[in-house]
Amino acid sequence: MSRNNPLVTAIIPSYNREKVLGQAVDSVLGQNYSPLELLVVDNGSTDGTARLLGGYGKSLSVIKVPERGVSRARNAGIRAASGEYICFLDSDDLWLPGKIKKQAELLLSSPSCKVCYTDEIWIRRGVRVNQCRRHRKYSGDIFERTLPLCIISPSSVMMHRGVFDEIGLFDESLPACEDYDMWLRITARYFVSFIPEPLITKTGGHPDQLSSRFWGMDRFRLISLVKLMGNPDVNAYKKRLAFAELERKSKVLANGAKKRGKMVEAGFYENLPKAYSHVV
Last residue of a domain, one of 207, 235, 263: 207
**pTM assigned to the model:** 0.92
Assign 112 a pLDDT band (cuts: 50, 70, 90): very high
Q: Does residue 137 lie within any of the structural domains? A: yes
Residue 1 lies in a domain: no
Mark whether 185 and 237 lie in a shared domain.
no
* Residues 236 and 165 placed together within one structural domain of the fold: no
Q: What is the pLDDT of residue 1?
A: 46
Position 32 in a domain: yes
**At residue 149, what are phi and psi to the nearest 5 degrees?**
-165, 175
Mean pLDDT of 174-178: 93
Q: What is the mean pLDDT of the chain?
A: 93
Which percentage of the chain shows pLDDT scores above 90? 85
Among 40-49, 97-106, 133-142, 205-214, the range scoring the smallest mean pLDDT is: 205-214
pLDDT in tens, 203-227: 976 555 555 455 679 999 999 999 9
Distance CA 168, CA 179 (A): 13
Contact 237, 192 (CB under 8 A): no
Co-location of 120 and 199 in the same domain: yes
Q: Which residue has the higher pLDDT, 206 or 160?
A: 160
Is position 86 within any domain? Answer: yes
Largest CA distance in the chain: 62
Domain boundary among 153, 175, 207: 207
Domain membership of residue 2 (yes or no) is no
Into how many domains does the chain fold?
2
User: Does residue 135 lie within any of the structural domains?
Assistant: yes
Whether residue 252 sits in one domain with residue 181: no
Whether residue 187 sits in one domain with residue 226 = no
Last residue in a domain, options 207, 233, 255: 207
Burial class (CB in 10 A: 0-12, 13-18, 19+), 32: exposed
Q: Does residue 72 share a domain with residue 26? A: yes
Confidence of residue 89 (pLDDT cuts 50, 70, 90): very high
Same domain, 201 and 78: yes
DSSP 3-state percent helix, strand, coil across the chain (nearest 5): 45, 20, 35
Contact 78, 65 (CB under 8 A): no
Same-domain check for residues 238 and 198: no
* Per-residue pLDDT, 125: 83
Q: Read off the CATH number of the domain in which 22 is found.
A: 3.90.550.10
Cα torsion 103, 104, 108, 109: sign: negative
Q: What is the pLDDT of residue 213?
A: 56
Residues 177 and 231 in one domain: no
Alpha-carbon torsion (148, 86, 96, 74), positive or negative? negative
The answer to whether residues 163 and 81 touch, using CB atoms and an 8 Å cutoff, is: no
Indicate whether 183 and 245 sit together in one domain.
no
For 227, the domain range is 218-279
Alpha-carbon gap, residue 228 to 124, rounded angstroms: 32
pLDDT at 209: 56
Q: What is the pLDDT of residues 3-45, one digit of tens each?
A: 678 999 999 999 999 999 999 999 999 999 999 999 999 999 9
